């Protein structure tokens, strides 16, 4: 996917400095880059790495001063670099054509350019949008809909009636649409509560490897456009996740919780059932958000139980001093006891 520096600047609306005819073939770190790889620098601290690199073209912020390079100037070099990578880097094929071992139900609708890998199964009345790639050993349940240009890596399982938007990417081993963990106790035993809702995932979402997203109980589980889930994230039944929210690995979200748009959730966060994280809220890694709690818009919380970051830092500082304070208390007790 070769482009000139000028073509990249025009496509990404960046300010060009230097030779616009320099060809760019790919992206790399400064240390690994060849002359025709694009690199980036966010601050003056990285100028030394850029100067030592073989790369001729760099995405850089206004504060970075570089000599002998073609520069694409912008306020957010990391984001611009990622956008450039989407143009320059051709993604590896997951599947090509329809493999002879794939099983496709007679009532399934498969769009133009769809590729299906070895031993994949597409169930009755499923719909697959054009140019979607489905990897080896995937299972697409009956009545599921997959949009256009989606990428399902090997061993992804969609239970029946799952809905995926366009350009959704799902990594290996993920299971979407299993029954949620819902039971009703009658005093003697647990009865399975109905799990009859759907899972709906919007456009441009990406789901990491070995994630699990349960179907809704009576309502649906909904994941909006642009959501990014890391590996090993669990989403319980009837959860709603707003647009462009990001959730790091090993986080668990209990049933009927609602996350707004542009929420950030760190790794190993536990979110109890019926919680609300309003738009722009941030939950730091390892936080525990108790059942029914609301995290307000723009608030950052940490710790278990989750509390505002400033309060957490104050309390943690005192916690770190407990051994010292304990010694002082014992010394006072000994002194008082001797009287």
Can you tell me the distance from the alpha carbon of 248 to that of 229, in angstroms, rounded to the nearest whole number?
A: 6
Active site residue 237: yes
Nearest to 238 by CA among 210, 218, 264, 252: 218
Strands of 175-251 (E only): list them.
175-178, 183-185, 190-192, 199-201, 206-207, 212-214, 221-223, 228-229, 234-235, 240-241, 246-247
CA distance 176 to 156: 8
Q: Which one from 99, 119, 237, 262 is the annotated catalytic residue?
A: 237
Question: What are the residues facing 241 on neighbouring strands?
Answer: 223, 259
| CA nearest neighbour of 180 among 198, 201, 164 | 198
Q: Are 141 and 126 in contact (CB under 8 A)?
A: yes
| 152 vs 171: CA distance, rounded Å | 6
- Region of 240 on the Ramachandran plot (φ > 0 left; ψ -120 to 50 alpha; else beta): beta
Backbone angles phi, psi at 51, to 5 degrees: -60, -35
Other CB atoms within 10 Å distance of the CB of residue 222: 21
Q: From CA 213, how far away is CA 258, in angstroms rounded?
A: 14
Q: Which residues are catalytic?
A: 237
């Amino acid at each position: 996917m070769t482009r000139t520096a000028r073509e990249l600047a025009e496509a990404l609306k960046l300010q060009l400095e230097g030779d616009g005819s320099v060809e760019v073939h790919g992206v790399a770190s400064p240390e690994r880059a060849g002359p025709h790889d694009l690199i980036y620098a966010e601050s003056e601290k990285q100028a030394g790495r850029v100067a030592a690199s073989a790369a001729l073209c760099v995405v850089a912020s206004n504060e970075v001063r570089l000599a002998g390079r073609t520069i694409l100037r912008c306020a957010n070099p990391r984001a611009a670099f990622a956008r450039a990578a989407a143009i320059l880097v051709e993604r590896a094929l997951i599947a090509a054509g329809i493999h002879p071992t794939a099983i496709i139900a007679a009532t399934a609708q498969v769009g133009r350019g769809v590729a299906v890998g070895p031993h994949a199964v597409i169930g009755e009345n499923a719909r697959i949008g054009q140019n979607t790639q489905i990897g080896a050993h995937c299972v697409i349940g009956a009545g599921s809909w997959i949009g256009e240009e989606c990428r399902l890596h090997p061993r992804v399982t969609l239970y029946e009636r799952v809905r995926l938007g366009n350009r959704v990417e799902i990594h290996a081993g993920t299971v979407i649409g299993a029954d949620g963990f819902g039971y009703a106790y009658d005093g003697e035993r647990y009865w399975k509560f109905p799990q009859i809702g759907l899972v709906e995932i919007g456009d441009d979402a990406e789901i990491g490897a070995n994630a699990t997203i349960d179907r809704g109980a009576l309502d649906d589980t909904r994941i909006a456009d642009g959501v990014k889930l890391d590996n090993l994230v669990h989403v319980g039944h009837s959860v709603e996740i707003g647009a462009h929210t990001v959730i790091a690995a090993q986080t668990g979200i209990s049933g009927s919780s609602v996350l707004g748009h542009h929420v950030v959730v760190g790794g190993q966060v536990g979110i109890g059932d019926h919680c609300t994280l309003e738009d722009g809220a941030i939950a730091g890694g390892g936080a525990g958000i108790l059942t029914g709690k609301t995290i307000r818009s723009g608030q950052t919380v940490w710790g278990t139980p989750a509390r505002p970051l400033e309060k957490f830092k104050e309390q943690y500082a005192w916690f770190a001093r407990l051994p010292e304070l304990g010694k002082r208390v014992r010394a006072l007790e000994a002194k008082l006891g001797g009287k």
